[in-house]
Structure 1
Amino acid sequence: MSVADRTPPEIDRRREQRGWIWYDWANSVFPTSVALVFLSGYLTSVAAQAAKADTALNGPNPCAESRLRACDISAFGAHFPAGALWGYLLSLATVVQVVVLPIMGAIADRTQNKRRMLGGLAFLGSIATAALALVSGDDWGLGVVLFILANICYGASVVVYYAFLPEIATPDERDSVSSRGWAFGYLGGGLALGLHLALYLGHDALGLSEGASVRIAFVLSGLWWAGFTLIPLARLKRHQEPHGAETGASVVTAGFAELRSTFRQARLFPLTLAFLGTYLIYTDGIATVASVSAQYGRDELHFEESVLISTILIVQFVAFFGGVLHGWVAKYWGAKRTIMVSLCVWIVVVGAAFFVQAGQPGQFYALAAGIGIVLGGTNALSRSLFSQMVPPGREAQYFSLYEVGERSTSWLGPLVFAGVGQATGSFRLAIISLVVFFVAGFVLLIFVPVCRAIAASGNPVPAKV
C-alpha cells in the first residue's frame, strides 16, 4: 500500500497536521532550556558540592597527588573532575539512545499504536524533567539518572513523532508540513527559554535563590512538555493496522524480530542509505556549529554571558522564520535544491564567523541571525525528504536509524573543532575548518538520485523534489 493510499481526506488531514506540529513546540523545551542552558551548569555545581563534601569527610582528594587537576568525584571506581561530568553524561546518554531507539522504532511499527507510544514517552520524559527539581545538595547521581531517562524518552518520542509524517501528509505537502513543524518548534523553544531566563535573571527580585530558580525552570519545562503534548494526542489517529497481535513482553520480542528484518532489508534500498549517509555528514556540521558557537564567542571573541544568552534567543526566534522560508522555497524549487542552497549559505555563514571581531557584539548577533535562517530549515527539509524514501510501514524504524545515525556521528564535528583548535592555537581556524562538512554534504547530495530513491522505496514521487 502506498503512502498516498494511507493519507486521510483533506479536512481530517489538515486537522492532524495542525495538531502534529504542536509536538515540535512541546518537546523543544527539553533540548533548549534543559539540556542546552540550565542543566549543564546546575548539575556541575551539584557535583562540585559533592566533591567538597567528600573531601571534608575523607581528607585529601584521591587524585590529589596525581597530575590530574581537580579529580573531584567518582563513579563506578573512576575518578574525574566535576567539570567533566556533563561531557561524560552526554556521551553516555547518546550511547544509551543508540541502543534503545531502534528497538522503540521497531515496536512502534509492529504495534502501529504510535499515538499511545507518543503520549507515554512524552509524559514519562516530562515527569523525569520536572523531577530534576529534586536534585540538590550533593545528589548529582539522581540528576544523571533522571537526565538519561528524560533523554531516552525525548529521542524515542521524536522517532515516533517523525513516523507520523508520511501518514498525515501527501508527498507534495510534506516539505511544508515538516518546515512549519520545525519552525514552530524553534518558536516554542525560544519562548519557553525566554520565560525561564526571565525567572533566572530576576530571581533576587522574586525572593528566590539562583538554584531555586533553576529548579523551578525544570518543573515548568516538564509541565510545558506534557501540557502541549495533549494537543497532538487529541488530533492524531491510527492509520495502519498492526503487523501482529502481540501484547506485553511479546511486543518487545516482536520488536526485535521486526528490527532484524529491517536491517536485512535496508540493503535493498541503497539510495535511501546514500541520502542518510550524506545527511549525517552535513548535519554533524550543523550540530557542531550550534554547540560550539557559545565557546567561540566566549573564548575567542571575549563576550560576556549576557551577549551569549541574547545570541541563543536570536537564533531560536530567527530559526522560526528560517523554517517557514525554507518550506516556501521548497514549494517552488523542491526539497533537494533548497537544501543545497541552504548548505551554500552555511558555507558563507561559517566563513563569515572567521572575520567576526572580538568585542563587537553586533557582528556576532548578525552571525547568529544567519545561523538561524538556515538552522531549522535545513533539518526540516531533510526530515521530509527522508520520509519520502522510507518503505511504507517501516517509518518508525527508519527514523530511528535516522536519529541513531545522527547521534552516532555527532562526535566527529566537535573532534575536528577541538583538534584544529589545539593544533593551531586558534578557534578562528577551528571554526572555519567546519566548512568541510557543508562542502562534502553539498557535493555528495549532487550525486544522490532523489527521484529514483523515492520510487525505489515504493512511494509516489512528488511534483517538486
Structure 2
Amino acid sequence: MRLDEESPYLATGVSRREAWSWAMFDFANSGYTTVVITAIFNAYFVAVIANNEDWGTLAWTISLAVSYGLIILTAPVVGAYADAYGAKKRLLLLTTIGCVLFTAMLYFAGPGDLWLAAALVILSNFFFGTGENLIAAFLPELARSDTLGKVSGWGWSFGYIGGLVSLGLSLAYVTWAQGQGLPADQFVPVTMLITAGLFAVSSIPTFLYLKERALPQPHRAGISVMHEAFARLKETLDRVRDYRDLTRFLACLVFYQAGIQTVITLAAIYAQQVMGFNTADTMFLVLVVNVTASVGAFVFGNMQDRMGHIRTMALTLLGWMVMVLLAWMAETRGMFWLAANVAGLCLGASQSAARALVGYFSPAPRRAEFFGLWGLAVKLSSILGPLTYGLVSWISRGDHRLAMLISGGYFIIGLAILMSVNIRRGREAALHAEAI
C-alpha cells in the first residue's frame, strides 16, 4: 500500500501520506498532555514546586484555568482569521514553536519557583490548546462526511502512541536517574526537554505534507484584520440559532469535558496523594492507559460511523461514570488500575467522537471558526472541572476522593444534554449554510 495513493475513507485528492502527516501532529503534541499535564509535571508541581502545601493542587488548577481563559478569549478570533485568510497551517506553525519553546523552559522550574512554573505552564498550554483547535479544523477537508469518525479515530489513536513514546522515553530516563539516587528536582526537568524535542521533531511531517486547502475569502474593505475577525465571529454568533444542535452539543461538551479534563489534569496527583504511587509508578500507569486510550479511539472511531454519533457518545459517558465510582471506591492498587484503564478506553473514544461530530455539524466556509468554538467549549470545561476539583480538595483539606466524586457529576449533566441533540437536523443546517 503506497502512501501517495488515495483511500476510500478520505476526501477526493487526499493521499494516505497527507492523512498520515495530519495524524502525526496528534502523535507529536500528545507528549505534552501526557508528560506535562497528566503524568509528571502536574504531580511535580504540587509535591516539589509547591512543597505539598494544601494550596498546591489549587495553584496547579488556577494556572491551567488562566491558560484556558486566554484560549477562550482568542480561539474564536484565531479561527475566524484562519478562515478569512486561509492561514490554518501558518498559525499552526507559530503555535507549535511557542509550545515547544515554553515546554523546554520548564526545565528551569525547581523547588519554590512557583511563579516561574505557573507562567511557563500558562504559556505552553496556551500555545498547545490553540494549535489543537487548528489541527482539528483540517479534519473535514481530509475525510469524507460519512467517515469523519473513522479518520478522527485514526488521529487520536496515533496520538496516544505519541504520548506512549514520549512517556516511555521519560520513564526510561527517570528509572535510570532514580537508580543513580537523583532527586525529582534533578530528573523531572530533563523530561521537559525530552517532551519538547520529540514534539518538535515529530511535527515536521505535518508541515511538509499537510496541505492548506482553504482559500482566502473576500475581505471587508476599510477595516483591520482583527476587526474583520471579530465581525465574522459576530455573524456566526448572530446565526447560532440556525445551528441549534451544534449549540446543544457544545453545551453538552462543556459539562462532560469538565469531568474528562479533571481526570487528565489531576490523575497523577490523585494517584500519588490518595493511592501512594511514586513518580515511576504513576508514569507506568499512564503509559499503560495510553495503550487503552489508543485502542479506545481506534475501536470506537470505527464503530461511530456505523453505530451513530449519539449512541457512541452516550456509551462513553456511561463508561466515565463507572470509572469515577471505581476511582472513588478504590482501596487497592488493583481497583485503581481498573478505573484508570476504563478511563483510557473512554478517553480515546469520547475525544475522537466529539471532534468528528463537530466536523459533521460544520459548514465548509467556517470550519476553522466552528472548531474555534469547539476549542472554546473544551477550554471552558478545562477551567470548570479542574477548578471544581481544586476548590473542593482545598476546602475539604485534601479530600481528593470527595473532589473526584463531585467532579463526576459533570458526566451526568453532559449525558442529559446529549439526549436533546438531533444528528440529522444538525447536519442539514450545515449543508444549508454551505449552499447559501
TM-score normalised by structure 2 residue count: 0.85
1:453 is matched with 426
Q: Is the 8 A contact 2:255 2:410 kept in 1?
A: yes
Q: Which residue of 1 aligns with 2:370?
A: 398
Aligned with 1:439 (options 409, 412, 417): 412
Structure 2 CA distance, aligned partners of 1:83 and 1:330? Answer: 36
CA distance in 1, matches of 2:42, 2:386: 17
Q: Report how far residue 201 of structure 1 moved.
A: 3.0
Q: Judging changes above 3 Å, is the alpha-carbon distance between structure 1 residues 434 and 19 closer, same or farther for their aligned structure 2 residues?
A: same
Aligned to 1:222: 196
CA-atom RMSD, angstroms? 3.4
Map Cα deviations across residues 389-446 of structure 1 (whole Å, 9 max, x no partner): 1222111222122112222233444465567776799655554444433333223222
Contact 2:309/2:357 (<8 A) preserved: yes
- The structure-2 alpha-carbon separation of the partners of 1:345 and 1:41, relative to structure 1 and needing over 3 Å to count, comes to closer
Q: Is 1:321 matched up with 2:323?
A: no
Aligned to 1:39: 41
Aligned residue for 1:54? Answer: none
Q: CA deviation at 1:166?
A: 0.9
Paired with 2:431 and 2:294, the residues of 1 have a C-alpha distance of 33
SS of 2:215's partner is coil
Contact 1:119 1:229 in 2 (8 A): no
Which amino acid in 1 is paired with 2:73? V
Cross-structure match for 1:182: 156
| One-letter amino acid of the counterpart of residue 424, structure 2 | C
- Aligned partner (choices 331, 348, 370) of residue 322 of structure 2: 348
Q: By how many angstroms is 1:86 displaced?
A: 2.9
> Structure 1 residues 444 and 84 mapped into 2: Cα distance closer, same or farther (>3 Å)?
closer
Q: Which amino acid aligns with 1:452?
A: R
1:146-165 counterparts in 2 under 5 A? 146-165=120-139
* 3-state SS, counterpart of residue 263 of structure 1: helix
Work out the CA distance in 2 between the residues paired with 1:43 and 1:439.
Answer: 30
Change (3 A) 1:321 1:88: same
Letter in 2 for 1:104: V
Which residue of 2 is the match for residue 168 of structure 1? Answer: 142
SS in 1 for 2:261: helix
**Unaligned runs of at least 5 residues, structure 2:** 1-8
Alignment check: 8 A CA contact 2:21 2:205 kept: yes
Is the alpha carbon distance of 1:19 and 1:246 closer, same or farther for their aligned partners in structure 2, counting shifts above 3 Å?
farther
Identity %: 28
1:27 and 2:29 equivalent? yes
Q: Give yes or no for the alignment of 1:263 onto 2:237.
A: yes
After TM superposition, the structure 1 = structure 2 runs for residues 31-110 of structure 1, keeping only pairs within 5 Å, are 31-40=33-42, 85-110=59-84
Return the offset for 1:381: 0.6
Letter in 1 for 2:342: G
* Equivalent residue number for residue 114 of structure 1: 88
Q: Secondary structure at the match of 1:448?
A: coil
**Greater share of helix:** 2
SS at match of 2:382: coil
Larger radius of gyration: 1
Quote how far apart the aligned CAs of 1:210 are: 4.2
State the partner residue of 1:379: 351
The DSSP-based 3-state class of the residue aligned with 2:141 is helix
Amino acid of the structure 1 residue aligned with 2:410: F
Give the superposition deviation at 1:257: 2.6
Please list every run of 5 or more consecutive structure 1 residues that lacks an aligned counterpart in the other structure: 1-6, 50-68, 72-80
The residue number in structure 2 matching 1:410 is 382
Give the alignment's TM-score, normalised by structure 1: 0.80
Q: How many residues align?
A: 424
| CA shift digits 1:151-194 (9 cap, x unpaired) | 22111111111110111111112101111111111121122012
Deviations 1:349-400 (A, max 9, x none): 33333443x2x22222122111111111111111101111122211122212
For the residue of structure 2 that corresponds to 1:242, the secondary structure is coil
Alpha-carbon distance in 2 for matches of 1:355, 1:336: 29
Alignment of 1:358-369 (within 5 A): 358=331, 360-369=332-341
Pairwise CA distance, 1:274? 1.0
8 Å contact kept, 1:387–1:395: yes
